Copies of this chain bind each other. A is one copy, B any other.
Amino acid sequence: MIILKSDVNTPLYIQIYEQLKEEIMNGSMPAGSKLPSTRNLAKTLAVGRNTVENAYLQLTSEGYVESKQGSGFIIQNVTAVNDLNKKSQYDLRDEESKVPEEKIMNPQVYNFQYGHLSGEDFPLRLWKKVSNKAITSLTADDMTRYSYPKGEYELRNEVKAYLRKSRGVLCDEEQIIICAGFEYALTLLCQLFRGDLNQIALEEPGYFGARQIFCNNGYEVLPISVEQDGLNLTSLEECPAKIVYVTPSHQFPTGAVMPIQKRVRLLEWAQRKECMIIEDDYDSEIRYNSRPIPSINSIAANGNVIYIGTMSKALSPSLRISYLVLPKKLMEKYAQRFEIYQSPVAVIQQRMLTLFMKLGYWESHLRKICNANKRKYDSLIHGITQYMGDQVIIHGKNAGLHILLESKQGLSESDMIEKAKAYGVLVYPVSVFWMNKSNYLDNMVLLGFGNLSEEEILQGIKEFSKALRI
Contact = CB atoms under 8 A, between A and B. Distances in A.
A345 interface: yes
Given A102-B148, A180-B344, A340-B209, A260 B64 contact: yes
B64 A318 contact: no
A144 B293 CA distance: 25
Given A138-B128, A146-B317, A293-B62, A94 B172 contact: yes
Interface in A299-358: 299-303, 316-321, 337-349
Interface residues of A, number: 117
Given A124-B138, A319-B346, A144 B116 contact: yes
Given A61-B290, A147-B318, A174-B98, A264 B88 contact: no
Contacts of A115: 146
A208 interface: yes
A90 B143 contact: no
Interface string A185-203: 0010001001100000000
A453 interface: no
B90 A170 contact: yes
Nearest to A321: B346
Interface centre among A120, A145, A321, A339 (most CB of B within 10 A): A145
Given A261-B77, A339-B212, A144 B290 contact: no
Contacts of A80: 261, 264-265, 268
B174 A290 contact: no
Copies in the complex: 2
Given A180-B180, A261-B78, A101 B148 contact: yes
Contacts of A120: 140
Given A260-B81, A290-B61, A345 B320 contact: yes
Nearest to A94: B172
B140 A301 contact: no
Nearest to A119: B140
Nearest to A322: B344
Interface in A89-118: 90, 94-95, 98, 100-103, 115-118
A85 B345 contact: no
Interface centre among A14, A119, A262 (most CB of B within 10 A): A119
Interface in A117-159: 117-122, 124, 127-128, 131-132, 135-136, 138-148, 153
A131 B135 contact: yes
Contact of A124 (B17, B78, B122, B143): B143
Nearest to A267: B84
Interface centre among A138, A146, A208, A216 (most CB of B within 10 A): A216
Contact of A58 (B98, B291, B338): B291
Contact of A343 (B139, B191, B301, B320): B320
B195 A341 contact: no
Contacts of A258: 63
A317 B300 contact: no
A400 interface: no
B144 A299 contact: no
A451 interface: yes
B143 A122 contact: yes
Nearest to A258: B63
A118 B319 CA distance: 27
B217 A299 contact: no
Q: Which 3 A-B pairs have the closest CB atoms?
A: A63-B259, A119-B140, A63-B260
Interface of A: 14, 17, 54, 57-58, 61-64, 76-78, 80-81, 84-85, 87-88, 90, 94-95, 98, 100-103, 115-122, 124, 127-128, 131-132, 135-136, 138-148, 153, 170, 172-174, 180-184, 187, 191, 194-195, 208-209, 212-213, 216-218, 229, 257-265, 267-268, 271, 289-291, 293-294, 299-303, 316-321, 337-349, 398, 451
8 contacts: A57-B289, A58-B290, A95-B172, A119-B140, A143-B319, A212-B341, A319-B346, A346-B346
